[in-house]
Amino acid sequence: MIGIIGLGDRIRDEVPDAIRTCMNAGIKVRMLTGDNKITATAIAKECKLINEKQEKYSVLTGDEFEELVGGLVCINCNSSIPCECSSKHVKERVRNLPMFQTIRS
């Protein structure tokens, strides 16, 4: 073996305070990540987003979130986005709105 290198970014000093301010204002803070969930959970703990009693939906990968809410659909034609709808003004909505509301609350 020639060597092993590990890299890590420091969490900006203002992030834990910003999360605490949001939480104190009644805002539910969620982390959606494209990163590894274990890594994201460790970062969320370091930022004080979660503690040992992690809420079920506090940290989600993008794939998990997509699976839970079912992605976006076009209001006009009810097809997945992007759609073949002829409307110039495609309006989107979450496919599984009750699950989206559960995640955010």
* Statement to judge: residues 57 and 74 lie in one domain: no
* Statement to judge: residues 78 and 29 lie in one domain: no
* Statement to judge: residues 50 and 3 lie in one domain: yes
* Statement to judge: residues 53 and 102 lie in one domain: no
Question: Is 80 exceeded by the pLDDT of residue 67?
Answer: yes
Query: Mean pLDDT, the chain, as a whole number?
Result: 87
Least confidently predicted of 23-27, 87-91, 92-96: 87-91
- The DSSP-derived string for 32-93 is EESS-HHHHHHHHHHTTS--SS--TTSEEEHHHHHHHH--EEETTT-PBSS-----SS--EE
Tally the C-alpha atoms within 13 A of residue 65's C-alpha that lie toward its C-beta.
19
CATH number, domain of 25, equals 3.40.50.1000
* Statement to judge: residues 56 and 20 lie in one domain: yes
Question: Is 70 exceeded by the pLDDT of residue 87?
Answer: no
* Statement to judge: residues 60 and 78 lie in one domain: no
* Statement to judge: residues 34 and 84 lie in one domain: no
* Statement to judge: residues 22 and 40 lie in one domain: yes
Residue 37 belongs to domain spanning: 1-64
Question: Is 90 exceeded by the pLDDT of residue 82?
Answer: no
* Statement to judge: residues 9 and 56 lie in one domain: yes
For the chain, the domain total comes to 2
Q: Which residues of 4-43 are buried (b: 16+ CB within 10 A; e: fewer)?
A: eeeeeeeeeeeeeeebeeeeeeeeebebebeeeeeebbeb
- The pLDDT value recorded for residue 86 is 65
Assign 75 a pLDDT band (cuts: 50, 70, 90). confident
What share of the chain in percent tops pLDDT 70? 96
- The pLDDT value recorded for residue 90 is 75
